[in-house]
Amino acid sequence: MNRMHTVAIIGGGITGLTTAYYLQKTVREQNLPIRYVLIEAEDRLGGTIITDYTNDFVIELGPDSFLARKTSMIRLAEEVGLKDDLVRNHTGQAFILTNGQLHPMPGGSIMGIPTKVAPFVTTPLFSLSGKMRAACDLFLPRAQSNGADQSLGKFFRRRLGNEVVENLIEPLLSGVYSGDIDDLSLMSTFPQFYQVEQKHRSLILGMRSTTPKQPKSAGDKKSSSAFMTFKSGLQALVEALENQLDRNCIRTGTSVSRVAQAESGYTLHLADGTQMDADSVVLCSSLRPTRDMLSEYDFSHLLEEIPTSSVATAALAFPLEAIQQDINGTGFIVSRNEKFTITACTWTHKKWPHTTPAGKALLRCFVGRPWDDSPVHLPDEELIATIMNDLNKIMKINQEPEFYRISRWKQVRPQYVVGHKARVDQLVHELDGKMPGMFVAGAPYYGAGLPDCIDQGEAIVSDILHYLHTYEATSL
């Protein structure tokens, strides 16, 4: 490269931070003539990652952890000096709330798919007819779908029946994406289940044969925990990344209203009336502002076709003795057929003991469903009263919370509905053909988990460098 190139990274959540970090790292290692500007509309970086430290608690207002098996986040944490701050969750019994009662999650179930006979046969979660219908999976033929997308609901109802889906699989899988299992795309959320069916025919037999055996020794139990976070909260990663970046390359409190093609590269129209030129643009913003920035282009309808949902979380702190009916476990999820406002509750002081001072309890509750997000919009006091009413049907809490923290994410959670991958692939194709040098990355596209966003941010750096090399070569 012969001249200085500017890359604009719009959105300072985990994807934008990762993109900036890996781009800066590569530029410095290879001594490339590239500068970047990370632009964030809010006054802080981190996006949905927000950690609250009231009264020595560690309270996550957004995501609270990440999957340990997706190692890109661990690797990034180690690079920025947080290796010793990583902590795994304490494992324990999880429950399903159905028919007004908490039932232990059947042992040997993998994302709701039974792999052991005894726990499944003896669980009161399902009727005898429901269990017999699920057992049909052992004999049903594999679907001849040729890889065509379908909803998670259609796929699992065909294999295991309605009862197992609605009492176990739906609250487990839908909660990950805050979506409706009968709308969510199989191939964009859990394509591995399709692959298991194609290879093994039976989901039950396939999951049994492909799942590693759990360690038996007590000393090995900790290594089997699925999730990780940081002792000081996920915000520690945001702050560590921010400290690694050149402060002169970060603009917070700056929103972009429109991105327009220019004679050479792109012009960013900022909300304050100023403009900024860039050779390449990476859109790491959430769906709504991304739609607005690209609304004048004919392919923007592809962004409109990605729906969003609203959710809220409420963290409630109590003295430990306030929990009159304690339950030995880490939390519960709620069947879609229950008349509860909350959709799940984590007993955070048990699942993540480092978050809670001695003698205290911390409960984190979730509200909002794709077909009814009205609880998300309730006033604070009314929402807490509703949550307490639900909790007291299960736990018997004799005091009001010492304090609470509510976070509302309105129309932020992208929904990976059927056909999602095809729409996103088409969007990327349109950008490549009509707006070369512009890229999209983040939760709305190829994975909503934190490691998925990190993977996208790291991968997009290669695309940026390839484009700038190609652009310069063709300009000579």
pLDDT confidence of 287, banded at 50, 70, 90?
very high
Q: Please give the CATH number for the structural domain made up of 51-71+78-91+309-414.
A: 3.90.660.20
Q: Distance between CA 414 and CA 287 in Å, rounded?
A: 7
H runs (alpha helix) in 31-177: 72-79, 117-122, 128-135, 152-160, 162-164, 170-177
Q: What mean pLDDT value characterizes the chain?
A: 92
Tell me 307's DSSP state. -
Q: Please give the CATH number for the structural domain made up of 106-215.
A: 1.10.3110.10
Domain with CATH 1.10.3110.10 in the chain: 106-215
Domain with CATH 3.90.660.20 in the chain: 51-71+78-91+309-414
- Backbone φ and ψ of 6, nearest 5°: -115, 130
pLDDT of 274-284, one tens digit each? 999 999 999 99
- Residue pair 80/240 in contact (Cβ under 8 Å)? The answer is yes
pLDDT of 330-387, one tens digit each? 999 999 889 999 999 999 999 999 999 999 999 999 999 888 999 999 999 999 999 9
Domain with CATH 3.50.50.60 in the chain: 5-47+235-306+417-475
Is a pLDDT exceeding 50 seen at residue 221? no
Average pLDDT estimate for 307-320: 96
Is a pLDDT exceeding 50 seen at residue 44? yes
Q: Distance between CA 443 and CA 317 in Å, rounded?
A: 30
Is a pLDDT exceeding 80 seen at residue 157? yes
Q: Distance between CA 470 and CA 163 in Å, rounded?
A: 55
Q: Distance between CA 35 and CA 20 in Å, rounded?
A: 10
Q: Distance between CA 387 and CA 64 in Å, rounded?
A: 20
pLDDT confidence of 172, banded at 50, 70, 90?
confident
Is a pLDDT exceeding 60 seen at residue 222? no
pLDDT at 473: 63
Q: Please give the CATH number for the structural domain made up of 5-47+235-306+417-475.
A: 3.50.50.60
Residue 254, classed as helix, strand or coil, is coil
